Amino acid sequence: MRIAMTRRRFLELAAAGAATALSGCATTLTRKNEPKRILVLGGTNFVGPAIVERAMQRGHAVTLFNRGITRPELFPTLEKLRGLRAGNGGDLSALRNDRRWDAVIDVWPAESALVEHTASLLADRTDYYFFVSSIAVYRNFSAAGLTEQSPLHVDDPGWYGGEKVLAEQIVEKHFPGRAGVARCHAILGPRDDGHAYHYWLHRLANYPRVLAPGSGRDPVQYIDVRDAARWIVDCVETRRNGPYNLVGPSEPVRFRSFLETSRNAIDSRAELVWVDADPLRQTHGVHSFSDMPLWAPLDEDAGFYQVDGRRAVTAGIVYRPLADTARDAWRWYQSHFFRDTIFPVGGLGLSRDRELEIIGPVG
């Protein structure tokens, strides 16, 4: 039970912080260089700014709708509509007019009711709706190879994954055949306000020896926020329909390579001290995800970091090298308020004292 609940908590934290061809999910192409009027719901925290920046680079006219609270200084030249998305007492009045947009990008809602409000309101005044979902929609991670057609959490309302499923269904209801969905895995990179990747970069940059879990052969999947943004804007430009798994590198990445590449990218000389999974869990009581962020041993949930992302790769997604993500994420972490974070944070990660109890004191 601890493992299952930890998995759920990880997906919630990661979100707060995200087959090669499927029938019924055709792509309708339009001219990519045709400027579009895009309404971004949110747009100022992590994934949102990356999308806005990409859309601006592509020459699109972007309007933001948000509360005006989180980083309101961003994008001073863009039109900004103020309001509140809420189950009760929300204010969408700024969207209640005769204006039309070519596309809406809905970045984060963990409540399906919020999606219902905006999708129903804009269905007749918008040609295309893109929704940022999550791999949390999938019901069972016990086996590798989950595709976009794998069973979903269709009976789990109120939890993050179940609400994402409901939101996807709502979008399809109001925008049948003209809606895109990105089912993202862990999203990393600049402006990431979560602590999962920060835990590893912080340790690699500051300590001479770092506890590393398992054999190093366990898989890991992730996507750079800028790659996700580029894909989303491309979907808007081409009106790409249906769900796609955005789960990271085209070729499998193992945890040893993940940590070593991250270490080298930030010019660290830290020694990685690998401790096998069984003694780590049974003798030392260390848990995946909560104590060792981003680590999912194959004997717990073999499919969690082996989600099938070939459909997006076939459709043209490009993933940048991990070293680029690591350097840029670390640069951003160092420049912001939590650069001196002491772990654990909200139950995530080990304290340094606890880590040294396991790997021994630094000589």
pLDDT of residue 204: 98
- Domain layout of the chain by residue ranges: 2-188+222-246, 196-220+250-300+321-359
| CATH-assigned architecture of domain 2-188+222-246 | 3-Layer(aba) Sandwich (3.40)
Average pLDDT of the residues in 309-323: 97
User: Quick check: bond before 213 cis, omega within 30?
Assistant: no
Average pLDDT score over residue span 127-145: 97
Beta strand ranges found along 214-270 (DSSP E): 219-220, 223-224, 242-246, 253-254
Mean pLDDT for the chain overall: 91
If residue 209 lies in a helix (H) or strand (E), which one and from where to where?
Answer: strand 209-213
Helix, strand, coil % (nearest 5) of the chain?
35, 20, 45
**Type of residue found at 123:** A
User: Which string of b and e fits 233-257 if b means at least 16 CB within 10 Å?
Assistant: bbbbbbbbbbbbbbbbbeeebbbbe
Distance, in Å, from the CA atom of 16 to the CA atom of 292, rounded to the nearest integer, reads: 18
pLDDT digits (tens, 9 = 90+) for 2-45: 343 355 555 665 554 442 222 233 333 344 568 999 999 999 99
* pLDDT value at residue 87: 80
Does 97 score more than 90 pLDDT? no
Residue whose pair of structure tokens reads 């020896």 in the numeric block: 209
User: Would you say residue 343 has pLDDT above 60?
Assistant: yes
Nearest to 163 by CA among 154, 171, 174: 154
Tokens of 44: 């100022």
Average pLDDT of 327-345?
87
pLDDT digits (tens, 9 = 90+) for 238-293: 999 999 999 999 899 999 999 999 999 999 999 999 999 999 999 999 999 999 99
pLDDT band at residue 89, thresholds of 50, 70 and 90? confident
DSSP secondary structure code for residue 135 in this structure:
G
Contact status, residue 226 vs residue 320, Cβ threshold 8 Å: yes
One-letter amino acid at 278 equals D
* Separation CA 311–CA 299 (nearest Å): 26
Burial class (CB in 10 A: 0-12, 13-18, 19+), 152: buried
66: helix, strand or coil: strand
Total Cβ atoms within 10 A of residue 136: 28
Under CATH, to which class is 196-220+250-300+321-359 assigned? Answer: alpha beta
pLDDT at 98: 87
| Least confident piece of the model among 97-111, 222-236, 303-317 | 97-111
H or E element in which residue 131 lies? strand 126-134
User: Mean of the pLDDT values across residues 115-134?
Assistant: 97
Q: Are 70 and 108 in contact (CB under 8 A)?
A: no
- Percent pLDDT > 90 in the chain is 82
In this structure, of 12-21, 157-166, 300-309, the range with the lowest mean pLDDT score is: 12-21
End-to-end CA distance of the chain: 38
Tell me: pLDDT of 129 over 60.
yes
Q: Confirm if 84 and 61 have CB atoms less than 8 A apart.
A: no
Residue 324 confidence (pLDDT) above 80: yes
- Residue 5's pLDDT is 36
- Report the pLDDT value the prediction gives residue 109, as an integer from 0 to 100: 86
Whether the per-residue pLDDT at 1 is higher than 60: the answer is no
Backbone angles phi, psi at 113, to 5 degrees: -60, -35
pLDDT band at 75 (very low <50, low <70, confident <90, very high): very high
CA nearest to 223, candidates 148, 321, 293, 290: 321
Written as one string, the DSSP assignment of 16-60 is H------TT--B----TTS--EEEEES-SSTHHHHHHHHHHHTT-
